[in-house]
Amino acid sequence: MKTLLPTSTAGSLPKPAWLAQPETLWSPWKLQGDELIEGKQDALRLSLNDQLNAGIDIVSDGEQTRQHFVTTFIEHLDGVDFEIRKTVKIRDRYDASVPTVVGAVGRPKSVFVDDAKFLRQQTKQPIKWALPGPMTMIDTLYDDHYKSRENLAWEFAKILNQEARELEAAGVDIIQFDEPAFNVFFDEVNDWGVAALEKAAEGLKCETAVHICYGYGIKANTDWKKTLGSEWRQYEEAFPKLQQSSIDIISLEAQNSRVPMDLIELIRGKKVMVGAIDVATNTVETPEEVADTLRKALQFVDADKLYPATNCGMTPLSRRVATGKLKALGAGAEIIRKELSA
């Protein structure tokens, strides 16, 4: 990136009300067939436009073509039966009825590559594409086939790598793997989680990122955060291993969170996407509040490696709030650019 402090979002942005029920996770589509395909593309272009208008440098599809950041990818795979459902605890936090792995998993055809090609046609800005990470995928399923979290994660890593290589060929500049599970299963992260992530990113020439967060601003997550005490030191567990890994960029949350900023020191040398927008509140940050968080982060990350971003996706927010937050992010980064060049 030539731009100093290139801004981006962690991933999802709200969908228009004519495409899906607003402010809802797993919201059902309101269109069908060809109308749905066209509707998703229209929504993608609107979402891109909102990002460009807000001065966001690294743009995305706003995840307009998926119902959920993990489920939609898994829906396209062989070996997972969505009719056979079991209740499991997602990230040790909340019960959910999930599909079952009933056989060898595979990817019969690409999942997001057409969408990525469409986005590539719309803009010359660098584009970032989010995929779920292997550990977060296995945590959203009941496994009745491999009966080993590690083996299933490894199979998913191979599938993700196929998809990632095709996304790269479609012109994606940064491929981001979402691994909120890295903030929960610390032993597994260090035993095989980071290795599975590197497998998913193997051989890519574009940049790679991993996004680790405290989740959307939904009740299960805000309740969980209340149990974490005054300092959130979860990143301390995965960061040393990630610092040694082949992943280029680490995306973390900082705005209004209790993560001690000095934990960023543990990934010194990596590019850092610092969350300077809180996605768990409807209060829109002022540009100065964003700038303040970025200034604090600059104590622990070199300016040429600081990528201002949002804490997580903004799908559950209203479009008005999300657009306001995008603008605050763009304007806040601009304040710091001016300070650095002064």
Beta bridge partners of 130: 176
Q: Cβ of residue 211: shortest distance to Zn ion, in angstroms?
A: 5
By CB under 5 A, is residue 170 in contact with Zn ion?
no
What phi and psi, each to the nearest 5 degrees, are found at residue 142?
-100, 125
281-300: contacts with Zn ion (CB under 5 A): none
Q: Which is nearer to Zn ion, 135 or 312 (CB)?
A: 312
Q: Estimate to the nearest angstrom the gap between the alpha carbon of 235 and the chain centroid.
A: 16
Cβ partners under 8 Å of residue 60, min gap 6: 8, 9, 11, 13, 47, 51, 119, 127, 128, 129, 130
Q: How many angstroms separate the CA atoms of 158 and 199, rounded?
A: 7
207-266: contacts with Zn ion (CB under 5 A): 213
Q: Which is nearer to Zn ion, 39 or 217 (CB)?
A: 217
Q: Which is nearer to Zn ion, 312 or 314 (CB)?
A: 312
Q: Which is nearer to Zn ion, 165 or 325 (CB)?
A: 325
Q: Which is nearer to Zn ion, 107 or 128 (CB)?
A: 128
Task: Report residue 5 as tokens.
Answer: 């402090």
Q: Which is nearer to Zn ion, 161 or 183 (CB)?
A: 183
CA 330 to each of CA 2, 148, 207, 308, 333: distance values in angstroms, whole numbers, following the listed order: 16, 43, 22, 9, 5
Stretch that binds Zn ion, among 94-102, 146-154, 218-226, 312-320 (CB under 5 A): 312-320
Element (H, E) at 253: strand 249-253
185-214: contacts with Zn ion (CB under 5 A): 213
Give the one residue of 54, 312, 331, 336 binding Zn ion; rule: CB under 5 A.
312
Element (H, E) at 321: helix 319-341
Count residues near Zn ion (CB under 5 A).
2
Q: Cβ of residue 26: shortest distance to Zn ion, in angstroms?
A: 16
Q: Cβ of residue 251: shortest distance to Zn ion, in angstroms?
A: 8
Task: Note the residues at the interface with Zn ion (CB under 5 A).
Answer: 213, 312
